[in-house]
Amino acid sequence: MENSTQKQNQETALSVSLAILDGRWNDLDKLLHKDFTYTGDGFVFTKDEYIGFMQDMKAAFSNLQMTFPNIIAQDDMVSIRFISTAVNTGSFMGAPANKKNLEVHGIFMRKVKDGVVLQEWQTTDLLGVMKQIGFGALMGYSVFVGLFNVAQKRPVRKF
């Protein structure tokens, strides 16, 4: 694959994160393929569920910032290492706000097809997150959800 296509794929893949950061949900919708799927950290989402999840995340974390220290493209795949910083000021995924400053590290892999993102895979340093917000709180929540087989509500797109 030629260099200019890889560069375009990098820009498209990165534009997804930038649209989320800016809360540009219509732009995000246009950047994602109609059959988009997300797989990461135990979740599998459709396009609308992914947008809803990101809207919930933006609502729960104030002053969300992201840096992208590494971006690597090969053919139709783009890998992005990210570092996010934010303050947890709202409930997220059933866990209450803790008002703590968080730094979250992870990697996205995005498959680009015809100028839009078709698939995303993500992994996050969840142990690092647990250390920051208090291992006991998150572990207790995880055990409760796991032991009692509590189903998480599917994210819903707001607009």
Mean pLDDT of 58-65: 93
Taking the C-alpha atoms of residue 41 and residue 32, their distance in angstroms, rounded to an integer, is 20
The per-residue pLDDT for 69 is 98
> Quick one: CA torsion of 74, 121, 28, 69, rounded to 10 degrees?
-60
Band (148; pLDDT cuts 50, 70, 90): low
Task: Out of 19-23, 98-102, 132-136, 154-158, pick the least confident.
Answer: 132-136
Number of CB atoms found within 10 A of residue 60's CB? 19
> Which CATH number does 3-147 carry?
3.10.450.50
The confidence score (pLDDT) of residue 67 equals 98
Structure tokens at 7: 């560069």
Mean pLDDT of 114-140: 81
Q: How confident is the model at residue 139 (pLDDT cuts 50, 70, 90)?
A: low
